[in-house]
A and B are shown apart, each in its own frame.
Chain A
């Protein structure tokens, strides 16, 4: 069944050391976000919401388990239907081949040729955003572009050091691109959303050229350079976008979901965000519970106080426990009298009876996956 004019390259290449320990055992793509989601759900939902079912996915070979565990057979995203085509590759593979002087883009080129789609979209893994790729394709076609980069006007706090920003002319033609780390100018910055819609034939040609000249295997970097070379018209994304690259940006992005407009833009848009199905029972709020301003997933039991927090599935808040300004991942337990504030609790964390875990608004405490905390931990 042919449903789209696009195929997709989904790059899960980005990893940030500043997100440790949250990404010790999992890829950035599979980091919990907004309670029940993983970061990759956003890019992947944008892809399938545009009826794209041919996807070339680049992942890190070290973090393959968490990725495959979440994606499974791709059923939730409708990627298990006849005519769907998923191709998984490791970016280490590209690195290795390049260092051996081999043709490192051959698999990608073969994928593009096999799909026979006139257009290709490239999308990265770390931006929490909800892209309408069909609208971007429409813009691409009506501008007669060969490559259409997508950007968002942001403040400095929404930039990671390795991000690309564009210098644009008055009518949004890309004049120059810079890495965020080199920036000296003033905000706002035109952050590359790491989303590009391209003519497939042109992309194949450029990839062949690139591997002949031994250019970087980093497709995203290459595309930013090509956008300048092609003097492309850029598409401005005006919805919610958060760039997840360190603990602060991750924490803030989660708490953003407590704000009506931001939550509405990301989660209640016309395109739904799809994630893995877990068949949890509803969340139970006890007679003593006191919950305010909180986004909470199913399967939880709440007997304590939860305020200004984002909570994933199957979390247990015992009587007299308190959680404020916290991001709590799946299956955590706050025992009676536990007091958690300005903190990120990774999956399966247990806070023992009467224990206090307290960070600060600008530097939340991060508790590693599976930890059992039995002593107070308070940041001065």
Chain B
């Protein structure tokens, strides 16, 4: 059975700028918003857009990610003519197939893509927070008879030099691509979301690697090549919330925007649900001593302290006398008594012993790594 549009999520990146939070897991597996992981956004967007077959390309520390995705059932991708396939680098008679760049990762997985026999491939990043209907983008791709459509978002002009900028003509056709231009001519930034006609992309990749004109990266190699060869390359204008959470600052900020509702993501909207792997947890318990304001808390939590303007993820314990302000506490963290956590991200399964102090109001965002232990936690049951 052929697939009209196959989703391919690039989830192999290390996310070096997230430091300790990606020391033992890939960036797309980093928790977000209390009960999600970053990859839930592209995966749920695929499911909600009717992209029923999705390949997830992993490379760096894939264990947690693989466990999270499983057979895709959490996103309803385990039905008939529907699948979630984890694509790991492997070796064959030609040698090992480590992925050296975004386009190279697609090239290395040509066998998988051919087996799905798609007309179009939808290339996505595994590290962006947004809601988007890819079916809309495909409709525009078809209407334009495009060979490649690049989703773009208008960024503030002063930030444009940090992005790949697409310069378009009046029909939305991309005529020039500039990677991080010092003096940008437009503010249409590439979101790293592409729809390619698979047949053409396949030819470009195989011909490139066969003739030492290596197509390693979409931004550096493939898109410039398409423009140079006068392919029909169009932009798809997106205007909702979109956040690259590649740094500690942006991850913290995206969580806070989600908490404040200023992102407009409205994750409670049941018409475009963001799905995630469900952990089996009891409801959250807010005790007599707790004080919770302007915060978001999820299942499995036991809150005996004070929570202010923070996100508390699944299965977090906060003991008496502790105070958490302007922070993101990731799943399974244990916070002892009389702890003060301010403007921090506390990693998964971290243990903060009683009387510890983490972060400060006017400081940089403090980070406690996954499973990191600070101080001593008294052994106390719930």
A positions within 8 Å CB-CB of B: 34-36, 75-76, 258, 260, 263-264, 267-268, 272-275, 277, 279-289, 291-299, 311
Contacts and interface: CB of A to CB of B under 8 A. Distances in A.
Nearest to B292: A285
B275 A279 contact: yes
A268 B281 CA distance: 9
Given A281-B268, A282-B33, A299-B268, A292 B297 contact: no
B204 interface: no
Contact of A279 (B278, B284, B292): B278
B286 A292 contact: yes
B196 to A, nearest CB: 31
Contacts of B382: 260, 263-264, 268
B294 interface: yes
B285 A285 contact: no
29 contacts: A34-B282, A34-B283, A35-B283, A258-B285, A260-B382, A263-B282, A267-B282, A268-B382, A274-B280, A275-B280, A281-B268, A281-B274, A281-B296, A282-B35, A283-B284, A283-B298, A284-B296, A285-B293, A285-B307, A286-B293, A289-B292, A289-B293, A292-B286, A292-B288, A295-B283, A295-B284, A295-B286, A296-B283, A297-B299
A272 B381 CA distance: 16
Interface residues of B, number: 34
Given A272-B280, A283-B297, A298-B299, 14 more contacts: A36-B282, A76-B278, A273-B282, A280-B268, A281-B274, A281-B296, A282-B296, A283-B296, A289-B292, A292-B287, A293-B287, A294-B285, A295-B285, A296-B284
Among B275, B285, B296, the most chain A Cβ lie within 10 Å of the Cβ of: B285
B369 to A, nearest CB: 23
User: By CB atoms of chain A within 10 A, which of B33, B273, B275, B284 has the most?
Assistant: B284
Contacts of B288: 292-293
A289 B34 CA distance: 19
Contact of B298 (A34, A282, A286, A294): A282
Nearest to A310: B283
Contact of A294 (B268, B286, B293): B286
Contacts of A283: 284, 296-298
B253 interface: no
A136 B125 CA distance: 51
B267 interface: yes
Contacts of A282: 33-35, 296-298, 311
A46 B70 CA distance: 25
A170 B294 CA distance: 57
B278 A277 contact: yes
Given A75-B73, A285-B293, A296 B282 contact: no
A299 B35 CA distance: 11
B273 A279 contact: yes
Contacts of A299: 268
Contacts of A296: 283-284, 286
B268 A36 contact: no
Contacts of A280: 268
Contacts of B274: 279, 281
A76 B73 CA distance: 11
Give the 8 A-B CB pairs with smallest separation, nearest first. A282-B34, A35-B283, A267-B282, A282-B296, A282-B298, A281-B267, A297-B283, A285-B292
A290 B75 CA distance: 35
B186 interface: no
Contacts of A258: 285
B191 interface: no
Nearest to A267: B282
Interface in B32-55: 33-35
B273 A285 contact: no
Contacts of B280: 272-275
